Structure 1
Amino acid sequence: MLTTRPERWDRVVDAIIVGSGGAALTAATMAHDGGAEVLVLEKASLIGGTTAVSGGVVWLPGNHHMAEVGISDSREDALAYLRRLTCGHEHDPAVLETFVDTAPEVLSYLEANTPLRMQPVANFPDYFFAYDVPGKKSGGRSCEPLPYAVGDEIPEWRDRLVTRGTLMSLGSNTMLAEDFAEPTEELKAELARREAQDIRTKGAALIAMLFKGLLERGVELLLETPVRELIVVDGSVIGVRAEANGQSIFVAARKGVVLACGGYEWNKEMVRAFIGYEVQPLSPPNNVGDGLVMAMEAGAQLANMTSYFGQPAMFDPEISRDGELVPQFEWGRGAPGSLIVNRTGARFANEAMPYNDFPKAFGAYDATQNEFPNEGPGWMIFDQGVRDSTRILSMIPGRPTPDWVPVANSIRDLAALIGLDADTLEATVATFDENASQGRDPLFHRTELGLMAPGAVRPLNQGPFYAVVIWPGALGTNGGPRLDTNGQVRGYRTPVIDGLYAAGNTAASAYAWAYPGGGATIANGMVFGFRAGRHLAAQPARDI
């Protein structure tokens, strides 16, 4: 952190937005529309951050599209649902209420004033719909972007917008509902058309539409321009030191700086210090905590630092980047005829629970034995019935099993192959099978609770048997500087740090560790990016 003004400024603008994901581009849009001169600085060589490689779904309770699918919502229902999930651990109840109050406005405003167009995801309930919680909805709160013709609309930027890259589980040019639909000839033809015309979906479409809106506004975005330090003079954030072409540049902000540059899940030291156990990152590798470090240096209060938006992760030796295996989204978790065990060979959680929550079970502490019995990796064990019906990484039904997959004719032999205690694994599977034959799971209630609906079980009785390593993974961390209702960063020595805002995974989530529905990560970022940009623009320009 620099505490004196540079001898000269290379640029002077009203607002500096650090990052180019959904939170950042929303903040830039609102700052511009409030009359501010805006500059967006992105560390990477591509636009879009974590949002661009995501499913692009945004969880917005009370949004105007809910009426189109015949589902009503209310402030009271949304708050009751969120409060039950946070269990009172949100860092500020007022910020949670602000999220609910602002969510409908965000989508209405962006659809009315930018190229962004969205629709409710079909048959997509809140994630805890199967649970006895108040305020849950059977659908409508999760909206996804419509396909966007990048090749036609912004052809000059097409190679600088992030695509889905090396994540296998969601199609690169399908909408979310299409990922779970039968691949009809009509769908295959439509996907071929999108591929040929560079029509993008999911997070790539969301980012492209928001970015197109900024281009129409004349907002400048600089790639490969990492922000290294805040410039803080007399307690006020007045600019940044960035790097461009290997040289330092100093950019002044007459009104403020918004940090929306991702979390810290790729920073192993921070993960070990704050989360406490190994978590595999499932986001772009630039998320190393840059914004968090800058906020801490400026004196920011922190919250929710031990948490993250979870997603079980697997590795496929056929998927690598720069010689390193790339963590992949889970495949097949909770399939009937499968279970997950820890390194002792014992089950430790309901395999069908929401994906955000399952990884947290890896960090459970056993106070009786003084150990972390579930510390990763674990193993997903499944039988031939699952192998024949479910794709798991590069294992595709009907095709030969890859050489890297452990396969054995008995559970005991499989235990020997993967280094688990054979007696324990046999006993675990036997107990599971006995209960599953009666359609029950008394240990973890899998037949009663699960992601959007109860899970299902059946005995593992169709040999041979298979195993795949499974780890706790992170879509992004969700701890960071505490925000007020305007997205301003709170300080330890001052109520807020003048001129400093944050949004997205750089900041503490409004709903603590909870993940209420599909798109909750992006929604939290866009709502507080929206509020930060609007509040920043309304501030008087400072004499820099």
Structure 2
Amino acid sequence: MSNTEESRVSRRGFMRAAGLGVASTALGATTITAAQAEEFAWDGEADVVVAGSGGAGLAAAVSAIQNGGSVIVLEKAEYVGGTTSKSGGGWWVPNNHHMHAKGIVDTKEDFLRYSARVAFPELYRPGSPTFGLYERNYKLLDHFYDQGARIAKTLDDTGALPSTMFLSWDGKPAPDYHAQLVENADIRGRQMATRSEDGSIGYGGDMIVYLSMYVEDHGGRIEVGHRVSQILRDETGRVIGLEATTTDGTKRFRAKKGVVFGTGGFTHNKEMATGFLRTPILGGCAVPTNEGDLILMSSQIGVKLGNLNEAWNQQEILEEVLEYSSVPSGVFFLGGDSSIAVNKFGQRMYDEKYVYPERGRSHAVYDQWTGDYPNLYQVFIFDEKAREFGGMLIPEPGSDIPNYVIQADTLEALTEAVQVRFDSLEDRIGPYKLDPAFLDNLKETIGRYNTFAETGKDTDFHRGEAPIDAYFHAVRVDRGLPNPYMAPLSDTGPYFAVLLAGGTLDTKGGPVFDENAQVVDIHDQPIPGLYVAGNAGASPSGKSYLGGGGTLGLGITFGYLAAEHAMKQA
């Protein structure tokens, strides 16, 4: 992620907001009578009240304004922007107006076929009218295609969120994350980027500046340091407002049309992460205020929950995520050409150049024979030559070696040093031992990998073959090898290693919602006045990451739709 220094500086404020605390704040829902509602000394009233000021929440706020309404945004942290402010600011929208400008055709059938294949591979049926998806999932994706492009163009045309097409380092439109699948039809350009004032590509911080300025310039009110703690309903069950905990006491905000939650996931709620996720994680890129508050509040009013076992997976530097669970930037890609990642047995697990969500998923592999996770912590190994190629985790030639990088002159010494490092972390991760056969297997693994590098064909994991591999890795050195993303590891040192752990950009489960972003109850009936968008809800993308900006594309679209629908209510 970008804006690293901003995120580091902002931590104190985020932690103060998080300090309002799950333990110290009673989260839930309260029913009030009409008479009580009239007697309350409301601290604010608007057509739409939004919880959360990330991309999803601010898109809802903009939508309320553009649909003729008033809006109040309540942000738990002392800073606007949530996790979006730390992000790359890309947002993934099918059939968008920038694709049209370049003559790129993106039909609904192509989009739905790809999305179904990737999001729910176990359900995918190519001959089915819904491609095998359940009606609700199909309807959400269908509506995303119909509405996402319209909303993106509206935000661009009105100046609320100027955008451009996200291009690769070689100037080409970005491929989707699983573009090697035949269902993708090699359609490029769905990933958009925030457009800075000078026309260049902006990032998450720029996105938040545009959206928040638009809200405030058009009369919207943004309150920071307000942790939403109670959903307020009337006797009919309609959501009519929110209660927030602040350092100045409890405040209440009335919503005449509806309440929209865009409060993010539960990455930093350890109990939820352990109880819901199938991937063991230590933290991630989400801001520390993402503690699953909505799940606790909505459970009290019979909300249907879904997709709780899924996250936008990512890898983290083990020592960094142990130091602070909300990392400035996760491991988006693994750099170097003469480099490999291995597990505790010294064996490779994946194409090291593939996308972070799928590499992150590898940490969840369970071995029934040994009764543990053999890939739980991984060892990324590279040599001196890889430093010329560069990339994430790879210190450039002549630069200082970061503390998290382990260095040794031989593979034997590197193995010993890696185990020493794991041992030094035992008080925080428990005992983690490399298998006794690690060194022998590592040598065999390197030998096999080096053969692949010479031939250019990785018959184990297809390294360098996926279109997204090239998108994430600029080729800085031409070694005259058939595959620029693989080079043999040296027979002599020095060697380097970095320890990797599983993490998230954020989680992607929560209240289930319909095509209008209305939260539904356990009987699949919409709850009047209650909406959700972004990582606070059950993501339509299911089990996977469709393409770069997939989280923000869905969050912004359904955030906008939520307030748009709310403004039509009596």
Structure 1 length normalisation: TM-score?
A: 0.84
Provide the C-alpha distance between the structure 2 equivalents of 1:392 and 1:34, rounded to a whole number of angstroms. 43
3-state SS in 2 of match to 1:253: strand
Q: CA deviation at 1:130?
A: 4.5
Q: Is the 8 A contact 1:129 1:138 kept in 2?
A: no
3-state SS in 2 of match to 1:230: strand
Q: CA deviation at 1:389?
A: 3.1
* Cα gap change, 1:12 to 1:327, in 2 (>3 Å): closer
- Name the amino acid aligned to 1:529: G
Q: CA deviation at 1:330?
A: 1.8
- Name the amino acid aligned to 2:295: L
Structure 1 unaligned regions, length at least 5: 150-173, 177-200
Mapping of 1:423-442 within 5 angstroms? 423-442=440-459
Residue 312 of structure 2: aligned partner: 309
Alignment identity in percent? 31
Residue 246 of structure 2: aligned partner: 244
Residue 167 of structure 1: aligned partner: none
Mapping of 1:62-461 within 5 angstroms? 62-86=95-119, 87=121, 88=123, 92-122=137-167, 123-128=172-177, 130-148=179-197, 201-234=202-235, 235-276=237-278, 277-314=280-317, 326=327, 328-330=329-331, 333=334, 335-367=336-368, 369-375=370-376, 377-393=377-393, 395-402=395-402, 404-419=404-419, 420=434, 421-449=438-466, 451-453=468-470, 456-461=485-490
Provide the C-alpha distance between the structure 2 equivalents of 1:521 and 1:352, rounded to a whole number of angstroms. 21
Q: CA deviation at 1:488?
A: 0.3
- Name the amino acid aligned to 1:534: E
- Name the amino acid aligned to 2:263: C
2:64 is the alignment partner of 1:31: yes
3-state SS in 2 of match to 1:328: coil
* Cα gap change, 1:261 to 1:381, in 2 (>3 Å): same
Provide the C-alpha distance between the structure 2 equivalents of 1:29 and 1:529, rounded to a whole number of angstroms. 9
Provide the C-alpha distance between the structure 1 equivalents of 2:63 and 2:328, rounded to a whole number of angstroms. 35
Q: CA deviation at 1:236?
A: 2.2
Q: CA deviation at 1:334?
A: 5.6
Over the aligned positions, Cα root-mean-square deviation in angstroms equals: 2.5
Provide the C-alpha distance between the structure 2 equivalents of 1:334 and 1:286, rounded to a whole number of angstroms. 31
* Cα gap change, 1:105 to 1:517, in 2 (>3 Å): same
Mapping of 1:434-513 within 5 angstroms? 434-449=451-466, 451-453=468-470, 456-461=485-490, 463-493=493-523, 495-513=525-543
3-state SS in 2 of match to 1:379: strand
Q: CA deviation at 1:325?
A: 8.5
Instruction: Judge which range, 517-526 or 410-419, deviates more.
Output: 410-419
Q: CA deviation at 1:316?
A: 6.7
3-state SS in 1 of match to 2:356: coil
Provide the C-alpha distance between the structure 2 equivalents of 1:539 and 1:403, rounded to a whole number of angstroms. 57
Q: CA deviation at 1:493?
A: 4.0
Provide the C-alpha distance between the structure 1 equivalents of 2:178 and 2:495, rounded to a whole number of angstroms. 32
3-state SS in 1 of match to 2:156: helix
Q: Is the 8 A contact 1:449 1:455 kept in 2?
A: no
Instruction: Judge which range, 275-284 or 224-233, deviates more.
Output: 275-284
Q: Is the 8 A contact 1:352 1:450 kept in 2?
A: no
2:87 is the alignment partner of 1:54: yes
Provide the C-alpha distance between the structure 2 equivalents of 1:456 and 1:28, rounded to a whole number of angstroms. 44
Provide the C-alpha distance between the structure 1 equivalents of 2:403 and 2:45, rounded to a whole number of angstroms. 58
Q: Is the 8 A contact 1:260 1:291 kept in 2?
A: no
* Cα gap change, 1:74 to 1:134, in 2 (>3 Å): same
3-state SS in 2 of match to 1:466: strand
Provide the C-alpha distance between the structure 2 equivalents of 1:429 and 1:44, rounded to a whole number of angstroms. 47
- Name the amino acid aligned to 2:350: A
Deviations 1:78-109 (A, max 9, x none): 11221221223676211111111111111111
Q: Is the 8 A contact 1:46 1:223 kept in 2?
A: yes
Provide the C-alpha distance between the structure 1 equivalents of 2:251 and 2:329, rounded to a whole number of angstroms. 37
* Cα gap change, 1:379 to 1:38, in 2 (>3 Å): same
Provide the C-alpha distance between the structure 2 equivalents of 1:100 and 1:537, rounded to a whole number of angstroms. 22
Q: Is the 8 A contact 1:382 1:465 kept in 2?
A: yes
Q: CA deviation at 1:297?
A: 2.3
Provide the C-alpha distance between the structure 1 equivalents of 2:260 and 2:71, rounded to a whole number of angstroms. 11
Provide the C-alpha distance between the structure 2 equivalents of 1:484 and 1:263, rounded to a whole number of angstroms. 18
Residue 152 of structure 1: aligned partner: none
Instruction: Judge which range, 209-218 or 265-274, deviates more.
Output: 209-218
| Structure 1 runs of 4+ with >6 Å offset | none
* Cα gap change, 1:418 to 1:411, in 2 (>3 Å): same
Q: Is the 8 A contact 1:407 1:466 kept in 2?
A: yes
Provide the C-alpha distance between the structure 2 equivalents of 1:107 and 1:397, rounded to a whole number of angstroms. 42
Instruction: Judge which range, 529-538 or 438-447, deviates more.
Output: 438-447
2:545 is the alignment partner of 1:524: no
